[in-house]
Structure 1
């Protein structure tokens, strides 16, 4: 009985790892999120990225005070 439990414990790690790898590979077959988006969603995403870029540019262009280094 003890040898059977020892063998089971010894196989638990490799079998569990194999199962995790198999489940992760199955998940990769799902379509890419951007290709599955509706055209309206893609347009909204593009608009939001443009707005973020514009805000970052305006923020980096603002005059920095001597004590503001590293403050976000």
Structure 2
């Protein structure tokens, strides 16, 4: 085997690893978008529920602090 191929053999593993990492990162970039969308919908639903609870608590608080009419 010619000696000029030895450096190529030594670099084959790191180059292959870098290529695989790049392909995995590139291919996986589509899934977080879907997960972010689902997470955002869940957060909006939770926010709406919390706003509803706050409104109910404020309503209850104003009814308890109103002076009674005699």
Q: For the superposition of Structure 1 and Structure 2, which TM-score range results when normalised by the shorter chain?
A: 0.3 to 0.5
Q: Return the TM-score normalized by structure 1.
A: 0.41
Q: Could you say which structure has the greater relative contact order, defined with CA pairs below 8 angstroms and 6 or more residues apart?
A: 1
Q: Return the TM-score normalized by structure 2.
A: 0.42
Instruction: Kindly indicate which of the two structures has a greater share of residues assigned to helix.
Output: 2
